[in-house]
Chains A and B, each alone.
Chain A
C-alpha cells in the first residue's frame, strides 16, 4: 500500500527526481559539523514557535481584563496547554541562544563574505525580527514583568531627536501602556512580524540553497565572477548524510527544550511573571530577558540616554551591513589579529554586561 502510494505520487510529482537532484546532489563541505547544523535547528525552532503560537492563540484573549487570566487558564486548565505554553516560552529563549551561536559560527568562519552578503543581511534582519517577536510577545501575558518591561522598552525611542516621541507614542498607542498597546503588540506578534519573518527567513534559506554552503577554510576558493552553485572539493551529500546530522541537532534541541520544561520550568520567568499587571504599582526590580541585559546595561552606564541609544543604532547598522564593511579577502580569522581581538572582545563584553545586567 505504502509502495503504491509512493509510486502514485512519484509518477505525478517526481519525488525521487526531486530528492536526487536537489538534495542528494546538493554538496556540503566534508568538515561541516555540528555548528553548521544550527541554521536548520533555528528554522525548526521557529516553526515550533509558529505551531505552539497558533495553539496558544486559540485560547488567548488580547484584552487587559482577560489576558492574564486567559494565560493562566491555558497553563492550568486547557489539556496540555502548559506544555504548549512552556514550549513557546522555553523555545523562544533557546531559539535566540541558537541564533547567537549560529551567528558567532558564521562570523568565525567568515561565511558572510562575497557572494553571501545577502545571506548575512537576511539572517541579521531575521534576528532583529526575532527580537521584535520577543518584545511584542512578552507583553501578551499582561503580568507585572511584561507590563513594566514594556514601559521601559517603549520609552527608549523617546530619547531620540525628532521622531523619538512619535515612535514611543506609536508603539504605546498613547502616553502609557494600555489596552491599545496590548492590541497593537498582539497584532504585530501574530500577524505583522510572522509575515515579514517568513519572508526574510525564506530569503535566507533560499540564498543558502541557491549558492550552497560556504566552503571550508581548507578549501581553495575560486574567484567569484558570476553566479554558480558552490562546488566543494571535498564534500558529502546533503541527503541523507548532512540531513541526518541536522536531524540529530534538532533532536538535541528538543531534548534541551523538554529538559528545561521538566526540571527548570521557571527558568525564563522573572519575578512578577505570575502577578497580574498593575499600572499603579511599580515593582522594585524589573530586569529584561537575558539577551537584552547587555543592551540595557550599556544604556544604564552611558550617562546620556540619546548617546546610549545612538551607540546601539550604530552597532546595529554595522552588524547588518558587516559583509560590506569587511571586504578583506582573507577568510581565516586566525590570520587577522585585529578582527580576532574584536570578536573575542565583543563576546567577552556581551557576557560581562549580561551578567552585570542581572544584578
Chain B
C-alpha cells in the first residue's frame, strides 16, 4: 500500500513537472533565434498568391522567386515595409508599409539599400531629367522590378537605350566599361570557383564587392569621361585582388604537394615493409 501510494504520488507530481519543463524548453530554446527557428511563411506571399487577389498582383511572388533579390534573401518587406509575420498588420503604415512608389519616387525607394548608386544617379543626366520633368528613366526602366536580375553590361543595349535617346552615347559608355566589366566577371568567376572548393575568400570577396559596387555606382553617373579617367584605379584594385587570389592558389599548391609527399612517404614505407615480408 505504501509503495502504491508513493508511485501514485510520484506520477501525479511528475506529470505537471514534465509539462512545465516541456513548456519552458519550448519557450527558451525552440522559439529563440539561437535555435534558428525562423519565420518561414510570409503574409505578403500568402495574400498575393490567393485566388482572391487581383490577377495583376498575383504573379508578383512567382516573379520575385526568379529574381536576384530572392537569391540574396531580399524579401517583400525589405523594400515595401510592413509586417510580413502578421497578416492583419502587413500593410500597416505604422509598421513602415510604403506600398508601391510613384514613378518619381522609385530612385529613393531603391536607394534605401543602393546608396552609392543613388548618389551618382541623382547627379546624372538621367536623375536630373527625372527630377525636372519626370522624363528621365528611373531604376525600373532599365532593371525591371520584381523579376530583377543581376545587372551586367548587356543591360546597355540599343533596344533599351533608344527608347529615350540615340544609342551612340550609350555605346561609348559600354566601350569605356568593357575592360573593367570583363575583369570583374573574370575575378568573380575565380572567387566563385575558390568558394566552391571550400576556400575562405571573405576578405577578397569584400574587396571585390566594394570595387564592384563603386564601379557600378560610377557608371550611373553616365559620364563617359569620368569612367575612362577612373578605369586605371579600378584596374589597380582588381590587380590587388588577383594578387591575393594567386597567393591562395600558391597555398593550395602547397597543400597538394605536401599531401603528395606524405603519400609517397607512406607508399615507400609500405614498399620497404613488403620487401621485408618477402625476405622472410
Give the docked Cα–Cα distance between A269 and B259 (Å). 18
A280 to B70, CA, bound (A): 11
Q: Check if A263 is an interface residue, CB within 8 A of chain B.
A: yes
Q: A247 interface residue, CB < 8 Å from B?
A: yes
| Alpha-carbon gap, A180 to B36, bound state (A) | 9
> A76-B199, A179-B34 in contact; A252/B255 too (CB < 8 A)?
no
Interchain nearest-CB distance for A274 vs B (Å): 4
CB distance from A179 to the nearest CB of B (A): 4
Q: Could you say which residues of chain B place their CB within 8 Å of the CB of A336?
A: none
Contact indicator A274/B196 (Cβ below 8 Å): yes
In the complex, how many angstroms separate the beta carbon of B71 from the nearest chain A beta carbon? Answer: 9
Inter-chain contacts of A231 with B (CB < 8 A): none
Question: Residue among A64, A75, A261 with the most chain B CB within 10 A?
Answer: A261
The answer, yes or no, to whether A330 is at the interface (CB within 8 Å) is no
CA distance A259 to B35 in the complex (A): 39
> For chain B residues 187-210, which have a beta carbon within 8 Å of chain A?
195-200
Complex: how many Å from CA A258 to CA B259?
5
- Determine if A274 and B256 form an interchain contact, defined as CB atoms under 8 angstroms apart: no
* Binary contact readout A226-264 vs B (1 if CB under 8 angstroms, 0 otherwise): 000000000000000100110110011011001101110
Q: Is the CB of B36 within 8 A of A274?
A: no
Is B4 an interface residue when CB atoms closer than 8 A count as contact? no
Name B's interface SS. Answer: helix
Q: How far is the CA of A72 from the CA of B35 in the complex (A)?
A: 21
B36 and A244 contact, CB distance less than 8 A: no
Number of residues on chain A facing chain B (CB within 8 A): 37
A178 contact set on B, CB distance < 8 A = 30, 35-37
Contact B197 A180 (CB under 8 A): no
Contact A261/B259 with A72-B200, A274-B195, A279-B38 known, Cβ cut-off 8 Å: yes
Segment of B77-85, B166-174, B237-245, B270-278 in the binding face: B270-278
Q: Which of B29, B40, B256, B260 touches A280 (beta carbons < 8 Å)?
A: B40
A266 interfacial by beta-carbon distance below 8 Å: yes
Q: Are B37 and A77 in contact (CB under 8 A)?
A: no
The verdict on A82 contacting chain B, using a C-beta distance below 8 Å, is yes
Q: Which of A82, A176, A259, A274 contacts B255 (CB 8 A)?
A: A82
- From known contacts A83-B258, A178-B37, A263-B256, infer whether A255 and B198 are also in contact, taking CB-CB under 8 Å: no
A-B contact pairs, 9 of them (CB 8 A): A75-B198, A75-B200, A76-B199, A248-B273, A254-B266, A255-B263, A255-B266, A262-B256, A262-B257
List 6 other contacts, CB 8 Å, given A178-B36, A179-B36. A244-B273, A245-B273, A248-B273, A251-B270, A251-B273, A279-B38
